[in-house]
Amino acid sequence: MSCKQFVFILWVTAVFNVSSSWAKITVDPAFQGTLVITSESGEISLYEVGESIGEIPQGASLEVFDGSFQLTLEAGDKISVECLTYTFDAQGPSSLTLTCGENEGTLEAVKGDIKGVSPEGEALQIKEGTAFPLKWTDDAGEVPPTAEGETVATTPEPSDPAPPDSRSIQSSPS
């Protein structure tokens, strides 16, 4: 094999692998809150403020609890972003900012359009340069999960109060 053939094969290999090895999904390291990255295979990674975020795989899902992050995707990148019960699909080239609290949040399409689905199943399209408010709806009678994946709940009131204890009954003067 000549040197020219070797260089040509090396060049062709680099060109065909560029989409997988050079495409990069990045989250601004100044994110706030707890960032949750779930790969397509179901592997979950939690990141707190100040922690370094590793490589984010294509097709992963990103969520943030009580915080915000800015996400940038290059051409060919695809990822899902979730807040409360909303799901958005972002494809590169694009950039978005997601802020998510306990009951409300905002998704801003900084660059490119972002498509999503509301809790009611309605198709959404957020145009570049606009922000979309996200609200928690309690239609299902559920509460949002915590960063640990647990559900926050309150203790229900008993339907029938306990019978009175006769030792605590006092007579009133007549």
0.75 exceeded by the pTM?
A: no
pLDDT of residue 55: 85
Element containing residue 68 per DSSP (H, E): strand 61-73
pLDDT of residue 138: 65
pLDDT of residue 149: 55
pLDDT of residue 159: 58
Neighbours of 173 (CB within 10 A): 3
pLDDT of residue 136: 82
d(CA 128, CA 119): 22
Side-chain-side CA neighbours of 16 within 13 Å: the count stands at 5
pLDDT of residue 156: 53
pLDDT of residue 24: 81
- Tokens representing 32 are 């706030």
CB-based contacts of 173, cutoff 8 Å, min separation 6: none
Q: Which domains does the chain have, with CATH numbers?
A: 21-138 (2.60.120)
Q: Mean pLDDT, consecutive 10-residue segments, the chain of 174 residues?
A: 47 39 75 94 93 90 94 93 92 94 94 92 94 79 55 54 60 62
pLDDT of residue 21: 39
